[in-house]
Amino acid sequence: MSDYRSSVEKVRAELERTDFPTVQLSDPQIKTVGLDPANLIVEEDLADTGQSDDRLALIERYLAGHNILASGIDDLRQTTSEQTDRERKSYAGEFGEDLKSTTLGQKALTMDQSGTLADMAKPTASITVPDTSGGW
């Protein structure tokens, strides 16, 4: 996966716009945690949706930033407030909110004109029917 539509530098710049301290992130981390999965989604799920390459590059960048901010590692998660004296942090979004859990995920949802990303976040429906044969 080396043919990204975006770049490590652009993802790093996007993260810095969210006040995320990117100094702690190495280029390989941005690639592995952010760009690789974002590129996979763009290439496999969005590339054939008729959206421009420029739009897909932005979506990839936003998804890569979202992947880092929502990585589950508290030091990487996007915070909305912090407090000292034994620390108290509030994180943007909640786990389980998928792309809505970070500002960059929300940007990716907004940029995707196909609705594919929004559909991916929807829970699947299932119906369980009890066995009513009730044999004797």
Give tens-digit pLDDT for 26-80.
Answer: 999 999 999 999 999 999 999 999 999 999 999 999 999 999 988 866 555 555 5
Classify residue 13: in a domain, yes or no: yes
Classify residue 133: in a domain, yes or no: no
Classify residue 2: in a domain, yes or no: no
- How many whole angstroms separate alpha carbon 15 and alpha carbon 1? 21
Q: What's the mean per-residue pLDDT of the chain?
A: 83
pTM: 0.76
Number of domains in the chain: 1
Classify residue 3: in a domain, yes or no: no
Residue range of the domain that includes 34: 8-121
- How many whole angstroms separate alpha carbon 122 and alpha carbon 103? 18
- For residue 41, the model assigns a pLDDT of 96
Classify residue 40: in a domain, yes or no: yes
